[in-house]
Amino acid sequence: LQSMVCQSTGSSGINAEYGADGSTLVYTRHEPVGVVGGIIPWNFPLLMFAWKIAPMLACGNTAVMKCAEQTPLTALYVAKLAKEVGFPDGVINVLSGFGHTAGGAMSHHMDIDKIGFTGSTEVGKIIQQASGQSNLKRVTLELGGKSPNIVFDDCDLEQAVGASHMGLFFNVGQCCCAGSRLYVQEGIYERFVGEMVKQAQARVLGDPFDPRTNHGAQIDATQLNKIIGLVDSGVKQGASLQCGGGQYGDKGFYMEPTVFADVKDDMDISTQEIFGPVMQISSFKTAEEVIERANNTNYGLAAGVFTKNVDKMYQVSSALKAGHVWGNTYNVLVTQSPFGGYKESGFGRDLGEYALSSYTEVKCVTMAVPQKNS
């Protein structure tokens, strides 16, 4: 919130100028949208709450936050803290409930002026339709992804292996920008696959409150079963299962860290967002080839590029149709920089100054000047 307030003071003031002949005064105001709804997912309940509510409040709006039905306690506790520190009644409001009821009511509500949503592309389209069916409320959508991660043979291999591993297995794969389509150049392909298998097999599954654990459970049985179903399809369609592939243990919703090699671009595991700890690795020959393959998707949220060649890094990152491209790293997010996608990964941006534009209305005022003084 502090970061957003600091940025809003520099971007949402009044800009004034006189007409060419001095007979008019023209100024632009950035005003609060009004009542703003935020609908957030279960994978990062506190972080997503902060990403949405900070620009809402910094721009002078009131907020209605709808938390995911799987993770309601975080948002409700933040609401309790907001009351304790003195936020006026009605400024921060939190709803818990199911998407089709509570979320649907917000999306169709005639007195909500804007919705900021993070979640699946399927639900994002429903919210967009609801806007058209109600009051044409403004909508920003941060949706799903199937992000390509491209590793050239001139990379720092150790760095690329470590960053690519975390780019997929961070938060047990439950991350919209996960680097789930991993393209590795032929010269280092076999070695890279071997290193990724070692990294996956070294993950420690168990109680998340145990400091030794770095791989927890999936959110629920529905998500676990979806992941296992897609893994099974990968095996049936001919991908090479290198490790994992099944449920871990008989308690909880734990999925084994899974690595596929020799994945074809038309396989289900290469086209569908798995949202779990399943890595898919393919090989490529040239930069031109991999750019075309990487862009051959309905999604466009994020991408990664690993190379020591600066010219190649610039060429490939410029050609990728994605809202956020990482170079020689992955999943590094800075509060002051924008985050959001192309294509069916949504529109609008969270974070940074770009997020603020979604939470203000722009008003132009033109006034006649009775006497020219310049």
DSSP labels, 42-75: SSSHHHHHHHHHHHHHHTT-EEEEE--TTS-HHH
d(CA 319, CA 300): 12
d(CA 93, CA 364): 31
DSSP labels, 182-208: EEEEGGGHHHHHHHHHHHHHT--BS-T
d(CA 344, CA 124): 9
d(CA 198, CA 200): 6
What are the E-state strand segments in 119-200? 138-142, 148-151, 181-185
Nearest residue to 321 via CA among 281, 358, 292: 292
Q: So which residues are the catalytic ones?
A: 142, 176
d(CA 97, CA 99): 7
Strand-pairing partners, residue 36, are: 63, 114
